[in-house]
Amino acid sequence: MSVKELNDKLRKREQRKLHVRKNLVGTPDTPRMTVFKSNRYLYVQVIDDKAGTTLAAASTLEEALKSIKRNVQGGEKLGEEIGKRLKDKKIDKVVFDRNGYKYHGIVKAIADGARKAGITF
């Protein structure tokens, strides 16, 4: 992939991200659950945009979650983990922010894992 193609790909993702984010706002009642994928790790955060705080987070960088691979099965496990952490904080409803990524593969698996843990979107 050339530099021009990579820049275009990142620019298009940023446009999709802004297009989705103008309609999604995390409140204390229904915080925003956002996903980020790097080439090696997966990250999930649950954010209250009104207060500007992160309520819960999970990442494959954490010592307890290092065994999770960056694939669909790993995404589902990470979704289940963030779902458990939200249930501990008595949060059962969130809005899902796919962060400009297509809703398939790992992103969909994270959402399905959270649903499996009892979180509704």
Whether 26 contacts 50, CB under 8 Å: yes
**Confidence (pLDDT) at 79:** 97
> Who contacts 53 (Cβ-Cβ below 8 Å, separation ≥6)?
47
Question: How many residues does the structure list for the chain?
Answer: 121
Question: For residue 49, which phi and psi values (nearest 5 degrees)?
Answer: -70, -30
Ramachandran assignment for 105, one of left (phi > 0), alpha (psi -120 to 50 degrees), beta (any other): left
**Confidence (pLDDT) at 61:** 96
Domain 3-116 sits in CATH 3.40.50.170: no
**Confidence (pLDDT) at 28:** 87
Question: For residue 15, which phi and psi values (nearest 5 degrees)?
Answer: -65, -45
Quick one: what percent of the chain has pLDDT higher than 70? 100
Spans of all domains in the chain: 3-116
**Confidence (pLDDT) at 66:** 95
